[in-house]
Chain A
């Protein structure tokens, strides 16, 4: 009898070993796809692999990574944010106008917009509304507000922001350090702290969490507020790089952010997300977006379509690998 149970124990642990290996493989996938894109770039243009090359190529990676993290918090709670792109644009417009001209009002507006995000989370939970619909509606609201703040492209980033984004550390380019920092901080907050467990659990099995006495309203508010916070950071970082704003500047970020989360090993439902993976996914997308295509001599007219194709290929590879887990 003991022999039998030891036997089944061994069998089960080897089974779980296989599952753990599959999960490790999936965890490595974001890093692998990033490496693949880097290898392709190095092969096409070896000179790009340098301090200066990376600074240039990964220029826009920081705001994309921040927007991806914002989206990841929403996805961790089994929701989707279709307004993050126009929200980043709105924040950009506020940053290039109010934040420079009247910093106090600017800060108040940005904090207020985080509050709006938190309220959206509460609304979605209390009225049991589909987040896709609510955030799609909000995307037009943010867009409209952005146009009100900045009717035509212009404005100027605050000097301190320009200084931060122009920071040139020795040896390692700033975007890489920033991405690492973002990934590690969020990883610690969401994956290692005791409340991070509750936040992820609210995506994994909300009913169980409610029964254990946790407030699902609070988790949803926290997740959406964090999305708002990182959306604000993303918009500010973006303006720090581009120096001036445009109401449409962030529109592409909505889908980039979703793709970054999924590419980084996250799943739309079930609270399965990975902050470090999401940052890597964002870097991959930032590199695949224009540097890679430019080096491939694809004319700008075709770059957007080629970009989409690369996205489909990478995501399909991810699905194939995670299917082997079952």
Chain B
């Protein structure tokens, strides 16, 4: 449903890279920021890696393509000084939430907005091709040489699940916009994936989540990749009271994952960074999406889409849908 003004991997992409580099150079040369947080080419095929550019000589490391999967807003609260951040739609939404929650100083932040047509989910590809030996992206096609087989995909086929349902490919808050923007038809959020889960029987859902949670090793890559999990002390690390043990079984793991999702109620921007970060392929997204749907349905709220809208749980109204509320 999303119309692309520019094609993947085409000429437009390289001009975006040029513009990103030019902007970064200007910002650093003018001393407007201390660091530009962007992406550079990673060591693995189809993998970009976060990159912290402090001097103009490193600027040519910066890249931009469909492999830039990390949500760089996660580094905004970890990196000291004035910073410029390259932000996709979801990254900018996370920055909005962080600003609304007073975790960032707006004047210390320069947002280099880039519209995003989605990022590649490598795991999807490797499930078929085996480990990727070489890969290239050109003209909307992803060509992969794998250990099991070689295959060519259209970009849409290998787009991450969170990008499939994304309604905000354009940055919602930015200081400069690089490249074209993406036309998004006006339509309400679609939660077909959540409805599918809701339509399962309780037993089926329980079996599904038991299986998913049994894979979790509690490495906390999901939590740490999340730009909005910034608590100084996460409830899982708290030892007084001790909310949960170090036991790694599906019940304790679900307690952690469900607790995390509840803490993200009305805050999660659905960037999918948690699911992509998971080394064990746990379907964390299924929980986040259900929460997003509930928040959307009950409060008509989507997090981080505008600096003007109050966070769902920061607003009180006598019309809130809690049946137990007493109305005057």
Question: Do A and B interact?
Answer: no
